[in-house]
């Protein structure tokens, strides 16, 4: 399976919700909607040169990605969050696109994990 989801991290999330896979399905749906919105926020903030908004959007996606075991995506988000915080907005466009690509990969991998596969 994909490396998008870290086994140990996902297991912890599963434990956190008491093994309730129905709840996890709903949670993934929330993640899909919110994550897409955050990536949209990142693009808008970067275009406007608004480091604070960019930092917050990256922070939020980092956090929820980590919660669902998407460790690699969380790392990508952290990189953007810290650079935005430090005002280094240059070259972040490609980083955001990398986040968008990884986000799709995570969304592709999650349903299988939620069903208990792999």
Partner 1 sequence: MSQAGQVARILVVDDNPVDRAVVVRLLTTEGYDVVEAVNGRLALELLASDGIDAVLTDLLMPELDGFATLAAIKSDERHRNVPVIVVTGRDDLDSAVRCIELGATDYVLRPFKPALLLARVRASLGEKRLRDLEREHLDRQAATNEVLRIISRSTFDLPSILDTVLHSAVRLCDAEFAAFYLGEPDGTYRNAASTLSPQETQYEREHPHRAGRDSVAGRVILTGAALQVPDIQADADYEFPVGQEGGYRTILGAPVRSEERLIGVITVGRKTVAPFDESEMVLVSTFAEQAAIAIENARLLETIERQKGELTRFISPQIADLITSTEGEQLLAGHRRRITVVFCDLRGFTSFSETAEPEEVLGVLRAYHAALGSLIVEHGGTLEHFAGDGVMVFFNDPVLQTDHEMRAVAMAAAMREAVAGLASGWRKQGYELGFGVGIVAGYATLGRIGFEGRHDYGAVGNAVNLASRLASEAAAGQILIDQRTYAAVEEGVEVESVGELTIKGLTRPVPAYNVVAVQPVEVALVTDVG
**Tokens 């930092």, residue located:** 55
CA distance 90 to 37: 22
Coil, helix or strand for 49? Answer: coil
Give, as one character, the DSSP assignment of residue 5.
Answer: S
Contact between 95 and partner 1 per CB under 8 A: no
Report in angstroms how near the CB of residue 13 gets to partner 1 at its nearest.
7
Report in angstroms how near the CB of residue 80 gets to partner 1 at its nearest.
14
Contact between 106 and partner 1 per CB under 8 A: no
Contact between 60 and partner 1 per CB under 8 A: yes
Contact between 22 and partner 1 per CB under 8 A: no
Contact between 5 and partner 1 per CB under 8 A: no
CA distance 18 to 70: 19
Give, as one character, the DSSP assignment of residue 4.
Answer: T
Task: Candidates 34, 75, 86, 88: give the one binding partner 1 (CB under 8 A).
Answer: 34
What Å distances lie between residue 65 and 3, 49, 88, CA to CA?
Answer: 13, 24, 23
Question: Which positions touch partner 1 (CB under 8 A)?
Answer: 9, 12-13, 15-18, 20, 23, 26-27, 30-31, 34, 55-56, 59-60, 62-64, 66-68
């Amino acid at each position: 399976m994909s490396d998008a989801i870290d086994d140990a991290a996902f297991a912890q999330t599963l434990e956190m919700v008491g093994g309730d896979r129905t709840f996890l399905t709903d949670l993934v749906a929330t993640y899909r909607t919110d994550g897409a919105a955050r990536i949209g926020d990142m693009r808008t903030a970067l275009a406007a040169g608004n480091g604070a908004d960019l930092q917050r959007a990256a922070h939020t996606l980092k956090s929820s990605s980590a919660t669902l075991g998407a460790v690699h995506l969380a790392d990508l988000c952290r990189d953007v969050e810290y650079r935005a915080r430090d005002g280094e907005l240059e070259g972040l466009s490609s980083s955001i696109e990398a986040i968008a690509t990884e986000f799709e990969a995570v969304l592709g991998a999650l349903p299988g994990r939620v069903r208990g596969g792999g």
